[in-house]
Amino acid sequence: MTGSVLREREKKIKIYVLCLLKDAAMSLLQQYLCLILFGVLAGSLVLSAGCLNEPPSKTASVVSLPENLTYYTEQLPPYNYEEDGVLKGFSVDLLEAITERMGTKVNREQVHLVPWTEGYQAVLTNNNTVLFTTARTPDREDSFKWAGPIFAVPNVLFALPERDIVITIPEDLNAYRIGVIVDDSAVQQLLDAGVNSSQLVAETSVPAIIAKLNSGEIDLWAYTKAPGRYLTEQVTGSYYSFKIVYTMPVLEGYYAFNRNVPDSTVQSFQQALDTLKTEKDSRGISPYERILGRYIPSIGFAHLNYLTEEWAPFNYEKDGVPAGISVEILEAVFREMGVNRSREDVRIVPLSEGFRQAQNNTGTVLFSIVLSPEREPLYQWAGPFTKGSFVVFAPADRNITIRSPEDLNRYRIGAVKGTIENTLLTGRGVNPSHIVNGLVPADLVTMLENGEIDLWATGDVTGRYEMEVAGADPDAYEIVYTLSENDFYFIFSKDVPDELVTAFSQALVMIRNQKDPQGISEYERIIYRNIGVGCTQQPFSDESVIALVDTTAKAISQDTPDTLRRINAGEAPYRDPENPELYVFVYDSNETMVAHAENILIVGTNFRGKTDVTGKRLHDEILSGALQNGTGWVEYVYVNPVQTNLYYKTTYYRLTKGSDGNTYIAASGNFKRCNA
The continuous run of DSSP H or E covering 585 comes out as strand 584-588
Residues 408 and 373 in one domain: yes
CATH number of the domain encompassing residue 585: 3.30.450.20
| Residue 14 included in any domain | no
- For residue range 131-163, what is the model confidence (pLDDT) as tens digits? 999 999 999 999 999 999 999 999 999 999 878
User: Is residue 387 over pLDDT 90?
Assistant: no
Instruction: Report pLDDT for 27.
Output: 43
Answer for the pair 9, 381: CB distance below 8 angstroms, yes or no.
yes
- For residue range 645-658, what is the model confidence (pLDDT) as tens digits? 899 999 999 999 99
N-to-C CA span, the chain: 28
| Residue 510 included in any domain | no
Residues 326 and 410 in one domain: yes
| Residue 313 included in any domain | yes
Q: Give Cα separations from 188 to 136, 196, 317, 333 (angstroms).
A: 11, 11, 55, 36
| Residue 165 included in any domain | yes
User: Is residue 559 over pLDDT 90?
Assistant: yes
| Residue 16 included in any domain | no
Residues 485 and 620 in one domain: no
- For residue range 232-275, what is the model confidence (pLDDT) as tens digits? 988 988 777 898 999 999 999 999 999 999 999 999 999 999 99
Residues 237 and 370 in one domain: no
Residues 268 and 314 in one domain: no
Residues 343 and 421 in one domain: yes
Residue 490 in 3-state DSSP? Answer: strand
Number of domains the chain contains: 4
How many Å apart are CA 471 and CA 451, to the nearest integer? 16
* Phi, psi of 485, deg, nearest 5: -120, 125
Average confidence score pLDDT of the chain: 89
Residues 279 and 370 in one domain: no
Answer for the pair 343, 321: CB distance below 8 angstroms, yes or no.
yes
Calculate mean pLDDT across residues 266-286: 96
Residues 128 and 273 in one domain: yes
Last residue of a domain, one of 480, 496, 512: 496
User: Is residue 8 over pLDDT 80?
Assistant: no
- For residue range 586-611, what is the model confidence (pLDDT) as tens digits? 999 999 999 999 998 899 999 999 99
- β-partners of residue 583 are 575
Residue 13 in 3-state DSSP? Answer: coil
Residues 455 and 557 in one domain: no
Instruction: Report pLDDT for 674.
Output: 60
Lowest mean pLDDT: which of 20-24, 386-390, 541-545? Answer: 20-24
- For residue range 227-237, what is the model confidence (pLDDT) as tens digits? 998 899 889 88
User: Is residue 12 over pLDDT 60?
Assistant: no
Answer for the pair 617, 185: CB distance below 8 angstroms, yes or no.
no
Give the structural domain span for 646.
Answer: 542-671
Confidence at 61, pLDDT banded by 50, 70, 90: low
Residues 318 and 444 in one domain: yes
CATH number of the domain encompassing residue 379: 3.40.190.10
Residues 278 and 221 in one domain: no
| Residue 528 included in any domain | no
Residues 467 and 325 in one domain: yes
| Residue 31 included in any domain | no
- For residue range 534-558, what is the model confidence (pLDDT) as tens digits? 877 778 999 999 999 999 999 999 9
| Residue 174 included in any domain | yes
Instruction: Report pLDDT for 13.
Output: 39
Residue 647 in 3-state DSSP? Answer: strand
Instruction: Report pLDDT for 62.
Output: 54
Q: Give Cα separations from 241 to 449, 474, 504 (angstroms).
A: 58, 51, 22
- β-partners of residue 637 are 648
